[in-house]
Amino acid sequence: QVQLVETGGGLVQAGGSLRLSCAASGLTFSRYTLGWFRQAPGKEREFVAAINGNAGNTVYSDSVKGRFTISRENGKNTVYLQMNSLKPEDTAVYYCAADRSIFLRTTDNEYDYWGQGTQVTVSS
């Protein structure tokens, strides 16, 4: 079956950096658009970034544009989220998700598979 496993979360001070990884198995990785979403306590899950199968195109939410970078290594079945200049408002559980569509979609109900999430906490 399809599995997505996120790693790399943790506690960091404001202004710091973290890199999240998501390792996928059970799917033809290069055929899927991969996305990152996050959910803060008491808030709805929100889109962060997405990358298409050949890594030729990416899209970001306005709140992270210029600070976060999504990338992927199809040979390793892994997608990354490099997070720089972190702010306390970036604190959330971060999820990776896979979408069999070729489109860069930003709504969570369009994604087919989800990881279990990894906690990112940014202290002020």
What is the predicted pLDDT for the residue at 56?
83
Burial of 5 (0-12, 13-18, 19+ CB in 10 A): middle
- The token pair at 50 is 């997405």
Q: What is the pLDDT of residue 21?
A: 98
Question: Does residue 55 contact residue 46 with C-beta atoms inside 8 Å?
Answer: no
Classified as helix, coil or strand, 33 is strand
Alpha-carbon separation of residue 69 from 1, 53, 65, 79, 122 (angstroms): 28, 16, 8, 11, 18
Q: pLDDT in tens for each of the 124 residues of the chain? A: 999 999 999 999 999 999 999 999 999 999 999 999 999 999 999 999 999 998 789 999 999 999 999 999 999 999 999 999 999 999 999 999 999 998 999 999 999 999 999 999 999 9
What pLDDT score was predicted for residue 24?
Answer: 98
Expressed in angstroms, the distance from the first to the final Cα of the chain is: 40
